[in-house]
Amino acid sequence: MRLSNIFESLLREEDYRGRHTAPDESNGFPMTNLEDCYGDDVYTYNCERYFGTNQGFDNESCSVIRAAKDKPNAKIKIYRAVPDLNDDIDINSGDWVTISKKYAKLHGDSNLDGKYKIISKVVYAKQLYSECNSIHEWGYY
98-107, 109-118, 130-139: which has the minimum mean pLDDT?
A: 109-118
| Mean pLDDT of all residues in 47-54 | 96
For residue 76, pLDDT beyond 90: yes
Q: pLDDT tens digits, residue range 2-42?
A: 444 444 444 444 444 556 799 999 999 999 999 999 999 99
Per cent of the chain over pLDDT 70 is 87
CB atoms within 10 A of CB 94: 12
Q: Look at residue 68 and tell me whether its pLDDT is greater than 60.
A: yes
**pTM attached to this predicted model:** 0.84
Distance CA 128, CA 65 (A): 11
- Residues in contact with 70: Cβ distance below 8 Å, sequence separation at least 6, in sequence order: 32, 33
Neighbours of 42 (CB within 10 A): 22
DSSP strand pairing (128-130 vs 137-140)? antiparallel
